[in-house]
Amino acid sequence: MQQVTSMLDILLLGDWNTRIVVFGTAMLGVAAGVVGTFLVLRKRSLLGDTVSHAMLPGVVGAFLVMQAFGGGGKSLAGLLLGAAVAGVLAAWAIPVLRRSTGLKDDAIMGIVLGGGFGLGIAMLGVAQALPGGNQAGLESFIYGRAASMVRSDAIGIGITAAVTLLIASTMAKEFRLLCFDESFGRAIGRREGLLDLGLMLLAVTVTVVGLQSVGLILVIALLIIPASAARFWTDEFVRMVTLAGVIGAVACWIGASVSAMAPKLPAGSIIVLTLATLFAFSMVFGTRQGALCRIVRSAGLRRRTDRQHLLRAAAEWMETSGVDRWTIANLAPMRSWSRGRLRLLHRRGVRSGDVAVTDDRFMLTKAGRLAADRVVRNHRLWELFLIRHADIAASHVDRDADLVEHVLGEEAVVELEQVLTRGDATPQSPHPLGGDP
Amino acid sequence: MPSKTAAEGILRGPEHDPTAALSIHDLTVAYDRRPVLWDVDLDVPPGCLAAIVGPNGAGKSTLIKACLDLLPRVSGDVRMFGSPWRQVRSRVAYVPQRETVDWDFPVSVLDVVAMGTYGRLGWLRWVGKTQKQAAMSALERVGLTEYAHRQISQLSGGQQQRVFLARALVQDADLYLMDEPFASVDAATEQAIIEVLRTLRGDGATVVVVHHDLQTVAEYFEHIILLNMRVVASGPMDSTLTAEHLRATYGGRLTLLEQAATALGRLSQPK
């Protein structure tokens, strides 16, 4: 019980120190989500990963320099400055290598990432052999150390993230143009290089700030996952950016709180796990591109198609046989239906009120009759259109018409009517109707 | 090599015609060290529809991109209305090829068209009511009003092409450079686009179009640039679209020569 209270205390920011750490980290989450969206849309997702890994030699180098000049080597600002310098160098090296070698971006990023991180690990070995090297906690930059973050660190993080966010949102319109159509941007006088440089500096800033809380290995997740998750919910740029910011903030809030509660759990991993969960949730339930939403949509179309097929088969049966009742066996030869499936469609038809049943013989209800007339009419109109205007042979037209008619809108049907018929009558079928009468 | 062509250009090249809408002088463009355009010299008079025609790999798109500084030039000078592009940027609109962008991008049709106003808006101001209205009326001109709030991936290829056209219309320019606006559009869309181009010409604008179809070139355009790495011929349609020039442009390619014959057949018919 006491544990629950303390957890609530932390989540609701009861403790002043925790409040600042959590708030600073959440601010970082917003900035990372927003800047990350630009990176993802610019198809430069891996830039963040490359830059963050290449920061390790910068951090260790800064430590060595500070020690050589007599400082303790523990100044956080100094270490982060080293990280920033290395990050900018790495980001600058990518386009330079691209131009001079002709290699593709992904290969170049792999080279810079691996080379930088390898150098950093080697330097770390050297630094830790020095007196005082172990106490500087250099290793914690690899995995992050939000738990040991003090109030002044958090305030610094929060302010930097807020400034980054401000710049990013002011420039969002230009970044959108850059990401969508850079050549048009240049044709109206935008300097692509300048914008890319700005975007890169924002990414470096977010990464530097993120080093402390999530660490250089996981910071990439904070940049990419919010944007990727947000895309499942919206087709609109500003909404996507906003949502990515919110997702980043939520994950950081939860991560920082949990790690404040249980200092053994590193904040970085909690943040990334939260992000992964949010991503999985969005992937399934997202209202725009989520898996469930797609399934529902295609199931809807399938049901509509099935219903129209049944109605048309019934109408054509009535037209060819002159009888207005039928059995499952009558309709089965008209399409490649199994008996079981046809029974299912009839059951649905009865449920929706299209079909009435007495002693295994079916007939259309009044409403079903109207719907069937409309379906047949659309089908014939479309067949005629295909024959007259698309040069498709009459023997093939049934199947082609079948493929298209279920997705025709009302407007298209009206247009077809104007093209093909003057009166209101349903045209004759241009080919013999299938099935035995 | 560049210095040599430059020297030649000075010796024999014509001076820029200050009245021309687009005037290219001694332009050479290379990818790495392989030149794709050599010594291009041409003038496009104002107020006309001009087609750039030539086989694949002739450098048609390259020519347009080089005019807009989208590609570095080895040598050469481009003037629009007598001034370098940078000084008259706001009077020039560009329609890139449709394939150059990702149509899954999270942006609506209206947002894309409104990008045409960014040149005047500058970096920091956001699209407001006036800009949206301008974008809507451009969409109306290309017949896409009801698609304004759709996401761009929901459009067909021809509709996407018209969105790009609308974005250029919003710029309200005097010179339009269009890279294959008729590529893979259906006949109805092609008609709609050419109507818009004719209206632009009627308003006094100049439109330069990369065009693929020799069958329609004489019908749609009154000025033609035949290009195959060099300018084979450039001038008014009637005097420039000749069998000899077509042969020089398309070389020995049989199928293309057939097209050329068809085009000539159309030309010789009384209009």
- A408 or B123, which is more confident? B123
A234 → closest Cβ in B94, B106, B115: B106
Arithmetic mean of pLDDT, A62-73: 80
* Minimal CA separation from B64 to chain A, in Å: 11
* Measured distance CA(A367)–CA(A308) in Å, rounded: 13
Residue written as token pair 């259309």: A364
Q: Tell me if chain A has a CB within 8 Å of the CB of B85.
A: no
From chain A, the residues in CB contact with B69 under 8 A are 186
Q: Do A189 and B89 touch (CB under 8 A)?
A: yes
Which chain A residues are closer than 8 Å to B94 by Cβ? 183-184, 187-188
Out of A1-15, A223-237, A307-321, the most confident range is A223-237
Supply B204's token pair. 């006094």
% of residues, chain A, pLDDT over 70: 84
Tell me the two tokens of residue B170.
Answer: 């919003």
What pLDDT sits at residue B7? 45
- Which chain A residue shows the shortest CA-CA distance from B105? A180
The CATH number of the structural domain formed by A294-420 is 1.10.10.10
Q: Which residue in chain B has the smallest CA separation from A102?
A: B32
- The per-residue pLDDT of chain A, averaged, comes to 84
**Please, which pLDDT band fits residue B50 given cuts at 50, 70 and 90?**
very high
For domain B2-268, which CATH number applies: 3.90.1300.10, 3.30.300.30, 2.60.40.350, 3.40.50.300?
A: 3.40.50.300
**What is the predicted pLDDT for the residue at A399?**
62
Contact between chains at A187 and B92 (C-beta distance less than 8 A): yes
Q: What confidence tens digit (pLDDT) does each residue in A145-203 have?
A: 766 677 788 888 889 989 999 999 899 999 999 999 999 999 998 988 899 999 999 99
Mutate to test the interface with A, among B86, B87, B88, B105 (most CBs of A within 10 A): B105
Q: Which residues contact B109 (CB under 8 A, 6 or more apart)?
A: B139, B144, B147, B148, B149, B150, B151, B152, B155, B163
Closest CA in chain B for residue A37? B106
Number of H helices, E strands in chain B: 11, 9
Contacts of B89 in chain A (CB under 8 A): 188-189
Domain ranges of chain B: 2-268
Residue in the structure block whose two tokens are 């630094």: A127
Assess: ipTM above 0.95: no
Quickly tell me which residue has 């159509």 as its tokens: A181
| pLDDT, position B6 | 45
CA distance from start to end of chain A: 76
CB contact under 8 A, A237 and B107: yes
More confident residue, A420 or A223: A223
Which chain B residues touch A188 with a CB distance below 8 Å?
89, 94, 118-119, 171
The model's confidence at residue A394, banded by pLDDT at 50, 70 and 90, is: low
The CATH fold of domain A2-286: ABC transporter involved in vitamin B12 uptake, BtuC (1.10.3470)
Q: What is the pTM of this model?
A: 0.80
B127-183 residue pLDDT tens: 899 999 999 999 999 999 999 999 999 998 889 999 999 999 999 999 999 999 998
- Where do the CATH 1.10.3470.10 domains begin and end in chain A? 2-286
Q: Worst-scoring range by mean pLDDT, A25-39, A402-416, B72-86?
A: A402-416
| Interval B122-131 mean pLDDT | 88
For CATH 1.10.10.10, list the domain ranges present in chain A.
Answer: 294-420
Structure confidence by residue, pLDDT tens digits, B196-235: 999 999 999 999 999 988 889 999 999 999 998 889 999 9
What residues have CB less than 8 Å from B49, skipping those under 6 apart? Answer: B197, B198, B201, B207, B209, B220, B221, B222, B223
Res A375: pLDDT: 85
Which residues in B lie closer than 8 A to residue A170 (C-beta atoms)?
124
Higher-confidence position of A403 and B51: B51
Mean pLDDT value of segment A121-133:
84
Name the residue among B86, B101, B124 with its Cβ closest to that of A170. Answer: B124
Beta-strand ranges (E) seen in A326-373 are: 355-358, 361-364
Residues of B with Cβ-Cβ distance to A167 under 8 angstroms:
none
Do B171 and A179 make contact, defined as CB atoms within 8 angstroms?
no
Contact call for B127 and A177, based on CB within 8 A: no
Q: Output A44 or A11, whichever has higher pLDDT.
A: A44
Which residues of chain B are within 8 Å of residue A235 when distances are taken between CB atoms? 106, 108, 151, 153
